[in-house]
Chains A and B, each alone.
Chain A
Amino acid sequence: MSGLTLRLKAPANERLTFKDITPAKLAALSSHEIARLNVGIEKGGVALGDAFEISGTPGDVLTVEGATPTLDFVAFGLDSGTIRVVGDVGHYAGRKMTGGKLEVQGSAGSHLASGATGGMIHVLGNAGDNLGGIVSGDRFGLMGGIIVVEGNIGARAGEKMRRGTVVVRGKTGAGTGTRMIGGTIWAEGGLGPEPGLMMRRGTLIAPTVDSLLPTFVDTGKHDLVIVRVLARYLKSALGQLAPKPMPLFVQKIGGDTATIGRGEILLPAA
């Protein structure tokens, strides 16, 4: 497996942006051109070769070593191949991804996978606020793909999310699925307070929820075929990373009835 490795030389004096740095785009450039790519955000610019030691040859995998939370937009627009990050990433990682895989061995900042339509993101640590959420100027949050976070995530995950699946091994922050339009968030460690504010459609799955909005309604215990379909899909797509299946019967909490109320929070039936 050929690939390029970027090792951060020293903590940067400014935030760095990885927009347009994907395996496919680097493969089309010469080593000279790669080293001259601007990863700075300020007027003077920062050349990739100045901030990182570059080794290996461009290929299907791009490895970023020594990454810190000052590194934003990692895997922005990734369409194929793999970006492996040893360390943490900053904000907007996986933004507008359409395919390929982003693997973060540390934690991610806010707005992970915003506007992504495909691909797979695996974060071994935690993720910040607005995971799969909306960015000002966008119409929707997450629109496809699968995100797996082994730790906890911040507030308002999946805001205006339309499609795609988020699996969180830990717990979500407040307001998960706010204004959600579709898709699935499965939090194995439980949902934080008041999920689904103004949620239209979509599915939130968890063993527990801290508190419910008064506009959510208990529709009773159900044996839902779609939960089986979802579990099997995640098993085939994620293998070992798939969440443990829910019990046969789930308590379906419908809402938000302050809007059309076709969304649902699924909890294990008592």
Chain B
Amino acid sequence: MSKTVNGVAIDDTFAEAFGMSGTGIIITADTLKWARIAATVATGFGTSVIGCGAECGIDKELSPDETPDGRPGVRILIFGFSPDALVPQIRNRIGQCVLTSPGSACYAGLKADKSIGLGKGPRLFGDGFQTAKKLGGTRYWRVPVMDGEFVIEEETGLTTDAVGGGNMLILGTDRAGLLETAEAAVDAIAKVDDVITPFPGGIVRSGSKVGAKYAGMFASTNDAFCPTLRGTVKKTELAPDTLAVLEIVIDGLTSKAVADAMRVGLKAVTDIGAKRGVTRITAGNYGGKLGQHHYHLKDLI
């Protein structure tokens, strides 16, 4: 039984999400502009663990008061299948994208019982000229670079209780209106701490199903939600007037953060409602057997 809010039908279904490992990293620079640049590049090509190795995004911007060095900063989150899978992702992303960015510095962005190396790899760029400074329980590395020093904390926090794949599918009769609505939902989710929407602009247009007819393809197009295939495939999920479907995928450091993000995302969509051509909200799942976390839409509206 679906429920209707503001003219938008909400399916009685659930988003099925998976346990992941996640970490947070604070990137600072002389200006917010340059902190954003480093953070954007470091989280690039980080949409899905399937092909990118990690799911990454910007959680929030930080004022100078909130960073360890009193400069403007950005907190990014990186999620992977396991702590071991995160190690090369952190090393390469920080080493190639943050170390290289003018004026940058890099600090732990998550306090947790477990930790994972942050500066352990990038410090070696110092070729023996790097020095450490331990203040309280925190060790900072100072790597000499051409514009001064790259300061990087040795470790950051790690959680293995992170959740990847919280999602909602938004269906509508107007592609432009649907995109605007999804953008509004992503903007609302961005205000929730500890979550990211790793896809381009936070929005996915290529929802996938598990498996494919081709060997070696782990995922392939979700034909049941493709409007151009309506009627030609065995099963379609789309009503005759549905023109497009957009998905928002949410990763979070905690299950609660993902639930909160879905709640504000759903509210943003239903607030805009039918007037921008949104007809229905549903969620992606695999029958509930694969993912440990289930987010029932009816509980979140």
Give me the interface of A with B, judged by CB distance under 8 Å.
144, 163, 165, 182-184, 201, 203, 222-226, 228-233, 237, 262
Contacts and interface: CB of A to CB of B under 8 A. Distances in A.
Given A163-B134, A203-B133, A262-B129, A228 B69 contact: yes
B254 to A, nearest CB: 26
Contacts of B131: 182, 201, 262
Contact of A225 (B69, B132, B135, B138): B69
Nearest to A260: B128
Dominant SS at the A interface? mixed
A229 B148 contact: no
A228 B70 contact: yes
Contact of A229 (B129, B132, B140): B140
B149 A226 contact: yes
B136 A237 contact: yes
B129 A226 contact: no
Given A225-B69, A228-B70, A262-B129, A233 B136 contact: yes
Interface of B: 28, 68-71, 105, 129, 131-136, 138, 140, 142, 148-149, 151
B148 A233 contact: no
Nearest to A164: B134
29 contacts: A144-B134, A182-B131, A182-B133, A182-B134, A183-B134, A184-B133, A201-B131, A222-B148, A222-B149, A224-B149, A225-B28, A225-B69, A225-B71, A225-B148, A225-B149, A225-B151, A228-B69, A228-B71, A229-B68, A229-B133, A229-B140, A230-B133, A230-B135, A232-B68, A232-B69, A233-B68, A233-B135, A237-B136, A262-B129
A233 B151 CA distance: 14
A261 B132 CA distance: 14
B138 to A, nearest CB: 8
Contacts of A182: 131-134
